[in-house]
Amino acid sequence: MKKVLLFLLSLYCFGCATAPTLKYSLKEVQFISEYPGAVIEIDGRYYGKTPITIKMYGSDTPVDYPVYPVYTITASPTEPGHCQQKKRISAYNLPEIVYFNTALCPSADIKVDINE
């Protein structure tokens, strides 16, 4: 009898847990840059030059744990003296517009001391 109760209790506690169903759909995302012509790559794959609109899989379904893919977007400048920029965006709540300004480069004067 104890074994039956223990079995039923374990089914009650663990048997009904299911993961939510994620629904992805294609969403249009526009990539623009301050200086048109920046080369856009998503996860290392070439997609074209700015301004460009790309259909990407995304979802608006919220979940309590991170299960959505994260896209790494790279904008490589065509202007001399400009810098490459990377952005990471989640497939959850994809933005409609991703903006790059390749003229903004990291400054060599910034020093970070992790001990302060």
Give CA separation, 1 vs 4, 5, 6, 8, 14, in Å. Answer: 5, 6, 9, 11, 20
Look up the pTM and report it: 0.70
Domain extent at residue 58: 22-100
Q: How many domains are there within the chain?
A: 1
Q: Is residue 112 part of a domain?
A: no
Q: Which residue has the higher pLDDT, 9 or 72?
A: 72
pLDDT of residue 7: 58
pLDDT, tens digit, 9 for 90 and up, residues 48-73 = 999 999 999 888 877 766 677 889 99
Query: How would DSSP label each residue in 1-68?
Result: -HHHHHHHHHHHHHTT--PPPP--EEEEEEEEESSTTPEEEETTEEEEESSEEEEEEEB----SS--S
Q: Is residue 6 part of a domain?
A: no
Q: Is residue 108 part of a domain?
A: no
